[in-house]
Amino acid sequence: MQVNLIDKDELLKKLKQIHDQIRETCGNNDRTARGLRKAIRQIEKINPVQLEHTKTGYWKTTMMSEATGLDLSLTGGYDEPCEYVCSCCNEAAIVDEFGNYFLPNFCPNCGVKMEK
What was the pLDDT predicted at 3? 56
State pLDDT tens for residues 51-109: 555 688 999 988 888 878 888 888 888 888 888 999 999 998 888 888 888 899 989 88
State pLDDT tens for residues 12-40: 999 999 989 888 888 777 788 888 888 89
The amino acid present at 60, given as its one-letter code, is K
Angle at 62 between CA 58 and CA 63, to 5 degrees: 135
Distance, in Å, from the CA atom of 26 to the CA atom of 38, rounded to the nearest integer, reads 17
pTM of the model: 0.47
Question: How do the domains of the chain map onto residue ranges?
Answer: 8-45, 56-114
What was the pLDDT predicted at 78? 85
Our CA dihedral for 9, 13, 15, 19, rounded to 10 degrees, sits at 150
What was the pLDDT predicted at 50? 57
